[in-house]
Amino acid sequence: MQETGSDHLRDAVHQSRFWSWTGMMERLFTLWFGGFVYNQIWEDPRVDIEAMQLTPNSRILTIASGGCNILNYLVEQPEKIVAVDLNRHHMHLTRLKIEALRHLPTHEDFFAFFGKADDKRNLTNYKKYIREHLDPATRRFWESRRGLRFFCGPRINYFEKNFYNHAKFGKLMRFTHALARITRRDPTRLLAATSLDEQRELFDEMFSPFFENRFIRFTGKMPLVAFSLGIPPRQVKALRGDCPDGIVEVYRQRVERLVCHFPVEDNYFTWQAFSRRYDTQSLRAMPEYLRKEHWELLRNTIDRVTTQITSITDYLSRQDDHSLDRFVFLDAQDWMKDEEIEALWSQVARVGKPGTRIIFRTAASASPIETALSPKLREKFEYHKLLSQDLFARDRSAIYGGFHLYTLRGD
């Protein structure tokens, strides 16, 4: 019997006994993360693309997540992109984007769907141009009316009500913004800032004190907050190790970095965090795949992208030697045991070519590769630590503790 994405997710996350506190939290995370978590990806493609040094011959394996960066990488015209994910909901979003790109007639229609994501025409265009091209599972996901959806309507309706308000991450942002308004803070004020100095002033005045509120500190410690950010128990433990002052202080530090280190005018991560939308007026703060100048190029090369619901290790185990040369693991290794990381990188060493570039992020600052791999396997890879630190400092999403780049040495 073929394993499902849920089976792989349980294998990746469940590392402790059921009746232990950590074991129960792992199972709660699996239940929570098995749903629709991300409405966009939270890794900066600008940093990824610089780190990967893409060429027309690059063959990429990446975790799909919300599907944004697959299309952002495609702007650079690599030879091939394979997107895998354990979360079928994220894969259904990725496949919706791919078929919308293929079949919507104009860039205006595509931008209305995924840029503005709140236009009533989106449902008409979905029915007219997209739905017949979706695989049955993806179509059921977006159109199902089972359970509570009998009353609140299918998920495809999200795209006429601001899609970026939805999924677990979007709902967490709505809840956080509601708490901010209750404490007399307006998150959208940040979007009008005209300099980093003004952004710093707003952080010191409005956002830093927000994290001192007793209710906010109590709420921020709840597991479902971390889970809605896609942070499993193992990552929470790593974060606490990096910051003895607690998980809420970690959140404060990450928000400070997002607010104070990057100009808001072109940082679409800031716009999503503080307004749950992109800058649809000046069109500066948005992902590259949504820009009009890339529309025809992406439509003409979208067939270079393939998708599978599976784990990265299982996918690699079925591939030929030296058949890929770029790997994007997001933060997946934060979930893994050392032996699982060893198995993954053994496959990378086999499937990769000399010079292959591997990038990933971590919740804490340290790379797990330095301790997880056996000495013999570790010798096959070079860690570009200083460049990784420089790229991390320029990652506009600002939500991680580390960015890491490795290359596969020659035989």
Q: For residues 336 and 188, what is the distance between their CA atoms, to the nearest angstrom? A: 37
- CA terminus-to-terminus distance, the chain: 38
Average pLDDT for residues 56-66, to the nearest whole number?
96
Q: 310-326, pLDDT tens digit by residue?
A: 999 999 999 999 999 99
In this prediction, residues 230-254 reach a mean pLDDT of 71
pLDDT (mean) for 340-365? 96
| Rounded percentage of the chain residues whose pLDDT exceeds 70 | 84
Over its C-alpha atoms, the chain yields an Rg (Å, rounded) of 21
* Domain layout of the chain by residue ranges: 168-276
pLDDT of 355 higher than 70: yes
Mean pLDDT of all residues in the chain? Answer: 88
Q: Over 166-187, what HEC string results?
A: CHHHHHHHHHHHHHHHHCCCCH
pLDDT in tens, 127-182: 999 999 999 999 999 998 765 555 678 999 999 999 999 988 888 888 888 888 88
Q: Where are the beta strands (DSSP E) in 239-323?
A: 305-309
Indicate the DSSP class of residue 126: I
Whether residue 13 has pLDDT greater than 80? no
Q: Which of 158-162, 238-242, 296-300 has the lowest mean pLDDT?
A: 238-242
391 or 214, higher pLDDT:
391
Compute the average pLDDT of residues 25-30.
Answer: 56
Identify the pLDDT of residue 5: 45
> What pTM, to 2 d.p., does this model score?
0.89
| Cα distance between residue 300 and residue 172, in whole Å | 36
Q: Is the model more confident about 395 or about 233?
A: 395
pLDDT band at 339, cuts 50/70/90? Answer: very high
pLDDT value for 381: 98
Q: Is 322 helix (H, G, I), strand (E, B) or coil?
A: coil
**Average pLDDT of span 367-395:** 97
Structure-block tokens of residue 149 = 């959806």
pLDDT score at 223: 64
Name the residue with higher pLDDT: 222 or 32: 222
Measure Cα distances from 192 to 54, 196, 197 in Å. 35, 11, 13
pLDDT number for residue 229: 62
pLDDT in tens, 261-286: 999 999 999 999 999 999 999 999 99
At 4, is the pLDDT very low, low, confident or very high (cuts 50, 70, 90)?
very low
Q: How sure is the predictor about 1, in pLDDT bands with cuts at 50, 70 and 90? A: very low
Give the CA dihedral 220, 18, 65, 312, nearest 10 degrees: 140
Residue 21, C-beta contacts closer than 8 angstroms, at least 6 positions apart: none
Output the pLDDT for position 22: 57
pLDDT of residue 227: 60
